[in-house]
Amino acid sequence: MDSVDQDRLLDEAMIETRRRWGWSQEQIDEFQRERARDREALRQELAAELRERESMEYERRHRDRASGPAMLDLFVPAVGETREQTCAVCLEDFVEGGKKLRRMPCCYHSFHQRCIFDWLRFNRRCPVCRFAMTSVEEQRALDRAKAEAAATCGDGPEATKRRRLDPATD
Ligand SMILES: [Zn+2]
Ligand SMILES: [Zn+2]
């Protein structure tokens, strides 16, 4: 018996009791509507709590992940262009025409894309040398700085207007 059945039986028992108390059909209908509203509110509350717990859990587990855009920017080397011949994550050799490869910036360690992406989603450090890729927070700061630079020194209409109005700031 699931919780919906249990609820229904409980309701029936409560309604039976209220009938014995002499409640009118109208009062019983209203009572049932109220029960339904309460149940729906409770269901929504639990769903919201679950969503929050899941997102907190995601943040905790992926706290030190690499920035997504930085991952997609990683160079795609061909087999033969890499320093190593083996993926240090799965220990399989790189094969011509096989799985797509990605190379870390700076340290130039290469891995299968699938292997290094799965890794970087949890840990932004290179599995071989621990070189740290751009974190999500660093990427956000970079994007903000870029947006601010574009707003103040760009050739956008706002910047041009500002320069014209106040040449002393240049
Ligand atoms: Zn691999
Ligand atoms: Zn490395």
Which ligand ends up closest to the CA of 74? 2
Tokens for 57, please give them.
């859990």
Domains, the chain, ordered by start: 3-61 (no CATH), 68-120 (3.30.40.10), 145-169 (no CATH)
Tokens for 63, please give them.
């706290």
CB atoms within 10 A of CB 47: 10
Length of the chain: 170
Which ligand ends up closest to the CA of 111? 1
What pLDDT does residue 166 have?
Answer: 47
Q: Distance from the CA of 105 to the center of ligand 1, in angstroms?
A: 17
pTM: 0.61
* Residue range 43-65, pLDDT digits in tens: 999 999 999 988 888 888 888 99
Instruction: Report the pLDDT averaged over residues 4-23.
Output: 87
Look at 25-39, 52-66, 110-124, 151-165 and tell me which has the smallest mean pLDDT. 151-165
